[in-house]
Amino acid sequence: MEKYPGKKRIAVFISGRGSNLKSLIKYSRKKNSLIKIILVISNNPNAKGLKYSTNSKIKSYGIKFKSKSSFEIKSLKLLKKNNIDMLCLAGFMNILSGSFIRKFSKPILNIHPSLLPKYKGLNTHLRAIKNKDKYSGASVHKVTEKLDSGKIIYQKKVKILKKDTLKSLEKKVLKIEHLIYPKAIIKFLTSL
Ligand code: GRF
């Protein structure tokens, strides 16, 4: 008998600190959560965030990144073997190839620290501060072959204050990232 009936089988890809992974694990453990995290993969075997999944007894793999294609072949095998329904990128600092996205063929979500479509790519906070933006925020979106351009599922903004620094803004945005990723997953899964 299936141990988690109805729950979607999720994999999470990370590269480093893993604070978003931590928040997803926390949500997945709630009785009424819609997901069960089955697998965590990092493209960096030393990623600190792997401790959250190993401590939670989730199958965790740090795959040494020799090339994009070898990483993608290995991780695709793991995703298929574990019957993963959806992949969540959480601080995964690598761009998945079109071939990977097509071969996996299930939804892939990503969290991005800006109010997309503003500031795709890196250094989002620096760009927001330099441009004297009044707001920043975070977005959860579907991953497509075009970087940070898939459909936006959930977004939340934060005010940028005059006294904000790169560090304080990053901290503020990260806090809302932890809040919105589970919300975006619920919104996405209940809209299928
Ligand atoms: C987050 O700001 C995420 O949006 C970005 O990288 C950071 C990763 O943080 N892509 P963590 O590893 O989840 O703590």
pLDDT in tens, 43-60: 999 999 999 999 999 999
Q: What is the pLDDT of residues 100-130, one digit of tens each?
A: 999 999 999 999 999 999 999 999 999 999 9
Across 48-76, b (16+ Cβ under 10 Å) vs e yields ebbebbeebebebbbbeeeeeeebbebbe
What is the fold, at CATH topology level, of the domain defined by 8-190? Rossmann fold (3.40.50)
Which residue, by CA, sits nearest to atom 7 of ligand 1? 91
Peptide bond into 45 cis (omega under 30): no
Q: How far apart are CA 149 and CA 115, in angstroms?
A: 12
Please work out whether the CB of residue 182 comes within 6 Å of at least one atom of ligand 1.
no
CA–CA distances in Å: residue 168 to residues 75, 99, 120, 175, 178: 35, 38, 20, 11, 16
192 neighbors 161 (Cβ within 8 angstroms): no
Closest of 173, 11, 162 to residue 83, by C-alpha:
11
Position 158: which residue type?
V
Distance CA 171, CA 175 (A): 6
Its pTM stands at: 0.96
Ligand 1 center–CA 18 separation, angstroms = 7
DSSP at 151? P
Q: Is 12 in the pocket of ligand 1 (CB under 6 A)?
A: no
Provide the β-strand partners of residue 110. 89, 141
Summarised one tens digit per residue, pLDDT across range 30-43 is 999 999 999 999 99
Ordered by start, the domain boundaries in the chain are: 8-190
Element containing residue 9 per DSSP (H, E): strand 8-14
